[in-house]
């Protein structure tokens, strides 16, 4: 999902970070060796405070910081188990269920409806017998009796539903295959629909460990014009664009963590879906082009020979090839059939979802994507004439190609045959192999929304976390990888300077935390808590806490362990702790579970004893941690002889104390000491970051 607009700016500006880090590495060559920090215990004695009631002030501590709260040995203490190991990997008894779908749907352009049937083959790999199944009927959000409707603010908002009266209409539910038994059709009448969920109560339970059942559901729904900014319709000069998603009943995930994951679709929080293969056919008027997740199975039944020839050319081309050009929109020669309907057949394997879009208005272009394995796949864009220019969607295929190639090289190879970018009213929404981006986006905005939505093909499409409960595991991780995608694109064409300042402002005014349901956040906080803060956390962890090599090794292990599986937050924390070889629980606690602020300061510089000319024998520098968050410390020291040195100290200096002294080998008078000189940390009060204190 695209970040809210104010926060988009934040994610755009993140991308200056790497250049800064590279500058730092130059500076660190000049760093002086610093003796490890020493605590002067004589200064640590409790002293009597001025108060008349005998209060004591411990000068080794600061009032706003309690070390054992941050460094908490009981945090994430629960042991691993056979399903999920203490190392963060799937355990020897890990299992997950499977859902394969066969869908046939028709678009009725008169009633603006979808009429379909879905056959779900569900495999129960769990050790449990299942007496009932839970499915998601996401369209029910778009009904005026849904919880999401009642939860929508009077003014509307991005995700809710104010007055559209839609929802899934279920005309039949039946079992068409049960276990080893051959085809049969048993109508099911014993089902319950509660808001966006449907429970099918089984007469005969599904057996544990491998039982299969195929359920057929006939359904229809009216297409919401604006479906929570995730699907809908767009009117353009040459026709309407349909962006179709959450369009078939989908299985809830059953796992060993919670059993059935049955949180309803309320609008903000996204999805948690089972893996399987999806084979879908959509029937639309013959003058439309359909783009779908996966690979088109019947090109000769829907495309002209010219289009097929051009697609073959695109398969061998790094530059975009036009499949349907500006002058070909709406021409009879663009379509194989001149009237009636045409059925487009798509298939996508090992996926948690599938979506599609169709229109009479599409320009269509494509280029090949080169994967690190030597395999190729396709980058494609579908957009109306209004956004044909290179300042707009004319470069979309280039953005898609660069993003998929970068993420494939850096994180995990893109597993699907095609990556299609669709222009429409949806501002930014992701599905496997297809994304919907705002048709009015231009230049860097279009690049970043495209690279963001396709970044979701890694988190959560490939690493299948629970979006409905832990939005930060897809939005935050994705915001993090977008930083590097932005730096990488076309020699930094859209690279921007970064600042953590928005995080500072947020931390001062808001006590909400990352680890909460997206639906439990006020809409104004979603951009910060789901996107920017967790993205910045991973960025700082990689750049300033554990370094690139160890971070990347651990992050890759996490992705490899959990690709096409269902990791929980703890699986991630443990994978990173183990992979980097660090107990990072303090970091996870303060960034993900707490709303703590960071405030580091420089409080004192004293020259060493016996120093006759100030600074020639080194100095003792005192720094403080004034609030509950800790981070490693970067300090820049300037001397009167023109020398500038940098010192970095690990977060562990704060394990016992809020006041820290260390020796610095100065050779002349120290003119200034600055903590966090590049302003990379979210330091709540920068006015105390420099010694001597400056007065304004
Ligand atoms: Zn997103």
Ligand 1 centre from 446 Cα, in Å? 14
Ligand 1 centre from 268 Cα, in Å? 12
Mean pLDDT, residues 27-56? 40
Ligand 1 centre from 403 Cα, in Å? 14
Sheet of strand 418-424, all strands in order from the earlier edge strand to the far edge: 321-324, 363-370, 376-383, 418-424, 434-438, 428-431
Write out pLDDT tens, residues 407-452: 999 999 999 999 999 999 999 999 999 999 999 999 999 999 999 9
CB atoms within 10 A of CB 50: 6
Write out pLDDT tens, residues 166-197: 999 999 999 998 887 767 788 888 999 999 99
CB atoms within 10 A of CB 383: 26
Rounded Cα gap, residues 354 and 368, in angstroms: 21
pLDDT of residue 695: 57
Ligand 1 centre from 507 Cα, in Å? 22
Ligand 1 centre from 449 Cα, in Å? 9
pLDDT of residue 4: 64
Ligand 1 centre from 511 Cα, in Å? 23
Ligand 1 centre from 627 Cα, in Å? 31
Ligand 1 centre from 527 Cα, in Å? 10
Is the pLDDT at 606 greater than 80? The verdict is yes
Task: Cite the DSSP H helix spans in 511-651.
Answer: 523-526, 533-540, 548-562, 569-580, 585-588
Ligand 1 centre from 305 Cα, in Å? 37
Write out pLDDT tens, residues 206-229: 999 999 999 999 999 999 999 999
**Residue carrying structure tokens 């963060």:** 88
Give the CA dihedral 80, 81, 85, 87, nearest 10 degrees.
Answer: 20
Q: Say if residues 177 and 121 touch (Cβ distance below 8 Å).
A: yes
Ligand 1 centre from 443 Cα, in Å? 19
Ligand 1 centre from 325 Cα, in Å? 30
- Cβ neighbourhood burial of 561 (10 Å; 0-12, 13-18, 19+): buried
Rounded Cα gap, residues 561 and 475, in angstroms: 20
Rounded Cα gap, residues 212 and 120, in angstroms: 10
Is the pLDDT at 682 greater than 90? The verdict is yes
Write out pLDDT tens, residues 225-278: 999 999 999 999 999 999 999 999 999 999 999 999 999 999 999 999 999 999
* φ, ψ (nearest 5 deg) of residue 17: -60, -45
Rounded Cα gap, residues 617 and 254, in angstroms: 66
Rounded Cα gap, residues 571 and 89, in angstroms: 7
Mean pLDDT, residues 606-632? 90
Give the CA dihedral 159, 163, 164, 165, nearest 10 degrees.
Answer: 130
Ligand 1 centre from 435 Cα, in Å? 11
Ligand 1 centre from 531 Cα, in Å? 8
Encode 432-441: b = buried (16+ Cβ within 10 Å), e = exposed: bbbbbbbbeb
Is the pLDDT at 10 greater than 60? The verdict is no
Structure tokens at 396: 């979309």
* DSSP-derived 3-state class of residue 570: helix
CB atoms within 10 A of CB 641: 12
Residue 354 DSSP one-character state: -
Ligand 1 centre from 354 Cα, in Å? 17
155 pLDDT tier (thresholds 50, 70, 90) = confident
Ligand 1 centre from 411 Cα, in Å? 17
Considering the chain, what percentage of its residues have pLDDT values greater than 90?
A: 83
Q: How long, in residues, is the chain?
A: 696
Rounded Cα gap, residues 154 and 485, in angstroms: 38
Is the pLDDT at 89 greater than 60? The verdict is yes
Rounded Cα gap, residues 255 and 271, in angstroms: 15
Ligand 1 centre from 264 Cα, in Å? 20
Write out pLDDT tens, residues 539-558: 999 999 999 999 999 999 99
Ligand 1 centre from 253 Cα, in Å? 21
Q: CA 23 → CA 34, 149, 155, 431, distances in Å?
A: 21, 51, 47, 38
Mean pLDDT, residues 487-509? 88
Is the pLDDT at 38 greater than 80? The verdict is no
Ligand 1 centre from 668 Cα, in Å? 52
Ligand 1 centre from 475 Cα, in Å? 5
Considering the chain, what percentage of its residues have pLDDT values greater than 70?
A: 92
Q: Name residues whose C-beta falls within 8 Å of residue 254's C-beta, 6 or more positions apart in sequence.
A: 97, 124, 126, 130, 134, 260, 261
Q: Say if residues 541 and 573 touch (Cβ distance below 8 Å).
A: no
DSSP string covering 213-232, please? EEEEEEEEEEPPTEETTTEE
Helix and strand numbers (H, E) in the chain are 15, 34
Q: Name residues whose C-beta falls within 8 Å of residue 579's C-beta, 6 or more positions apart in sequence.
A: 88, 550, 553, 554, 555, 557, 558
Write out pLDDT tens, residues 287-297: 999 999 999 99
Q: What is the mean pLDDT of the chain?
A: 91
DSSP string covering 5-52, please? HHHHHHHHHGGGHHHHHHHHHHHHTTPPP-PPP---GGGGS-EE-SST
Ligand 1 centre from 533 Cα, in Å? 14
pLDDT of residue 241: 98
47 pLDDT tier (thresholds 50, 70, 90) = very low
Ligand 1 centre from 530 Cα, in Å? 9
Ligand 1 centre from 515 Cα, in Å? 17
Sorted by where each begins, the domain ranges of the chain are 34-69+496-696
Q: Say if residues 423 and 387 touch (Cβ distance below 8 Å).
A: yes
Ligand 1 centre from 478 Cα, in Å? 7
Respond yes or no on whether the N-terminal peptide bond of residue 84 is cis (omega within 30° of 0). no
pLDDT of residue 187: 86
Ligand 1 centre from 456 Cα, in Å? 6
Rounded Cα gap, residues 587 and 631, in angstroms: 8
pLDDT of residue 11: 38
Whole-structure pTM value: 0.91
Is the pLDDT at 625 greater than 90? The verdict is yes
Q: CA 397 → CA 122, 251, 588, distances in Å?
A: 36, 33, 37
Ligand 1 centre from 452 Cα, in Å? 6
Ligand 1 centre from 153 Cα, in Å? 22
Ligand 1 centre from 231 Cα, in Å? 14
1-15, 139-153, 598-612: least confident range: 1-15
Ligand 1 centre from 552 Cα, in Å? 22
- For 34-69+496-696, CATH gives 2.60.40.10
Q: Among candidates 227, 88, 63, 57, which has minimal Cα distance to 571?
A: 88
Ligand 1 centre from 460 Cα, in Å? 10
Is the pLDDT at 609 greater than 60? The verdict is yes
Mean pLDDT, residues 317-334? 97
Ligand 1 centre from 603 Cα, in Å? 42
Ligand 1 centre from 105 Cα, in Å? 27
- Cβ neighbourhood burial of 583 (10 Å; 0-12, 13-18, 19+): middle
Write out pLDDT tens, residues 637-662: 999 999 999 999 999 999 999 999 99
Ligand 1 centre from 1 Cα, in Å? 3
Mean pLDDT, residues 381-404? 98
CB atoms within 10 A of CB 327: 10
Ligand 1 centre from 428 Cα, in Å? 7
Mean pLDDT, residues 32-59? 45
DSSP string covering 271-326, please? -----EEEEEEEEEETT-EEEESSEES-HHHHS-HHHHHHHHHHTT-SS-EEEE-G
Ligand 1 centre from 192 Cα, in Å? 32
Ligand 1 centre from 512 Cα, in Å? 20
Ligand 1 centre from 457 Cα, in Å? 10
29 pLDDT tier (thresholds 50, 70, 90) = very low
Q: 511: number of CA atoms within 13 Å, CB side?
A: 0
Ligand 1 centre from 440 Cα, in Å? 18
- Cβ neighbourhood burial of 153 (10 Å; 0-12, 13-18, 19+): exposed
Structure tokens at 528: 């910060």
Structure tokens at 246: 């959450």
Q: Say if residues 368 and 376 touch (Cβ distance below 8 Å).
A: yes
């Amino acid at each position: 999902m695209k970040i809210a607009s104010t926060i988009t700016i934040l994610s755009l500006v993140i991308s200056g970070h790497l250049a800064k880090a590279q500058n730092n590495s130059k500076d660190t060559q000049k760093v002086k060796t610093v003796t490890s920090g020493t605590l002067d215990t004589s200064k640590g004695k409790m002293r009597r405070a001025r108060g008349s009631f005998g209060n004591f002030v411990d000068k080794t501590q600061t009032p706003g910081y309690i070390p054992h709260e941050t460094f908490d040995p009981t945090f994430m203490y629960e042991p691993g188990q056979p399903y999920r190991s203490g190392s963060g990997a799937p355990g020897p008894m890990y299992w997950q269920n499977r859902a394969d779908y066969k869908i046939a749907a028709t678009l009725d352009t008169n009633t603006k409806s979808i009429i379909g049937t879905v056959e779900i083959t569900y495999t129960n790999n769990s050790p449990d017998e299942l007496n009932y199944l839970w499915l998601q009927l996401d369209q029910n959000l778009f009904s005026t009796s849904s919880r999401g409707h009642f939860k929508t603010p009077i003014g509307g908002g991005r995700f809710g539903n104010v007055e559209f009266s839609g929802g899934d209409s279920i005309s039949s539910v039946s079992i068409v295959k049960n276990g080893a038994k051959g085809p049969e059709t048993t109508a099911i009448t014993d089902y319950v629909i509660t808001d966006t969920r449907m429970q099918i109560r089984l007469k005969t339970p599904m057996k544990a460990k491998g039982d299969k059942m195929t359920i057929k559901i006939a359904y229809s729904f009216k297409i919401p014009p604006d479906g929570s900014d995730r699907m809908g319709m767009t009117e353009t000069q040459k026709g309407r664009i349909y962006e179709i998603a959450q369009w078939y009943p989908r299985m809830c995930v059953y796992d060993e963590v919670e059993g059935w994951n049955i949180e309803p679709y309320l609008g903000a929080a996204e999805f948690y879906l089972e893996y399987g293969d999806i084979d879908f056919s959509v029937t639309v008027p013959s003058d439309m082009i359909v783009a779908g997740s996966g690979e088109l199975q019947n090109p000769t039944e829907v495309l002209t020979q010219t289009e097929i020839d051009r697609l073959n050319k695109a398969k061998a081309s790094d530059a975009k090839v036009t499949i349907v050009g500006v002058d070909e929109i709406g021409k009879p020669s663009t379509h194989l059939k001149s009237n009636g309907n045409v059925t487009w057949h798509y298939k996508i394997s090992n996926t948690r979802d599938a979506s599609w879009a169709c229109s009479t208005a599409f320009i269509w272009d494509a280029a090949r994507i080169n994967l690190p394995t030597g395999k190729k796949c396709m980058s494609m864009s579908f957009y109306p004439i209004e956004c044909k220019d290179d300042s707009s969607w004319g470069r979309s295929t280039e953005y898609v190609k660069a993003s998929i190639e970068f993420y494939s090289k850096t994180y995990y190879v893109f597993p699907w045959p095609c990556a299609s970018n669709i222009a429409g009213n949806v501002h930014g929404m992701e599905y496997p192999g297809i994304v919907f981006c705002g048709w009015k986006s231009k230049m860097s905005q279009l690049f970043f929304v495209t690279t963001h939505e396709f970044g979701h093909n890694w988190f959560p499409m490939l690493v299948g976390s629970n979006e409905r409960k832990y939005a930060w595991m897809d939005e935050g991780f994705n915001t993090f990888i977008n930083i590097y995608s932005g730096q990488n694109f076309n020699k930094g064409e859209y690279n921007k300077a970064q600042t953590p300042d928005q995080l500072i402002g947020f931390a001062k005014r808001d006590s909400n935390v990352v680890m909460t349901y997206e639906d439990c956040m006020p809409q104004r906080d979603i951009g910060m808590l789901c996107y920017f803060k967790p993205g910045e956390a991973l960025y700082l962890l990689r750049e300033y806490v554990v370094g690139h090599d160890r971070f990347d090794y651990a992050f890759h292990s996490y992705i490899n362990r959990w690709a096409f599986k269902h990791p929980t937050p703890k699986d991630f924390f443990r994978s990173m702790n183990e992979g980097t070889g660090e107990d990072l629980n303090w970091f996870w606690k303060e960034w993900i579970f707490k709303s703590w602020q960071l405030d580091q300061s420089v409080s004192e510089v004293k020259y060493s004893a016996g120093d006759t000319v100030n600074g020639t024998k080194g100095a003792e520098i005192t720094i403080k941690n004034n609030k509950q968050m800790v981070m490693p410390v970067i300090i820049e020291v300037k001397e009167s002889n023109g020398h500038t040195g940098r010192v970095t100290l690990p977060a562990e200096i704060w394990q016992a104390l809020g006041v820290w002294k260390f020796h610095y080998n100065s050779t002349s008078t120290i003119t200034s000491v600055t903590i966090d000189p590049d302003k990379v940390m979210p330091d709540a009060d920068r006015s105390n970051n420099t010694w001597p204190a400056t007065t304004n």
